[in-house]
Amino acid sequence: SQQGEEDPQALSIQEGENATMNCSYKTSINNLQWYRQNSGRGLVHLILIRSNEREKHSGRLRVTLDTSKKSSSLLITASRAADTASYFCATENSGYSTLTFGKGTMLLVSP
């Protein structure tokens, strides 16, 4: 069953703009991760944020986590056409050694 739910389902922006994707989840987590999937390819890990962290940065990526609201956001700054992909959040649930994925946000960055 899905734990994370991404919002929006699809996002279309111009190069240079920022892209923000949100993820909501239902149960307590150990950590939350974001992955990227290019069309026809496997998922690639982007960033992991632990339940006791509130914000994390990696290059042009900024992830926030609000455990009180059970939500996370992924911000991609100064987007590029190469950022076009689907983005998934995944939660490692407390007490379970598994990762549960949402259905993803499809991001289209136009030149």
Q: Which residues bind another protein (CB under 8 A)?
A: 2, 30, 33, 35, 41-45, 48, 88, 90, 92, 97-104
For the CB of residue 67, give the shortest distance to another protein in the complex, in Å. 18
- List CB contacts of 29: < 8 A, sequence separation 6 or more: 51, 67, 91, 92, 93, 94
CB closer to another protein out of 95 and 111: 95
SS3 83: helix
Residue closer to another protein (CB basis): 30 or 84: 30
Amino acid at 108: L
Q: How far apart are CA 29 and CA 67, in angstroms?
A: 8
* Least spacing, CB of residue 103 vs another protein, in Å: 4
**Closer residue to another protein (CB): 40 or 111:** 40
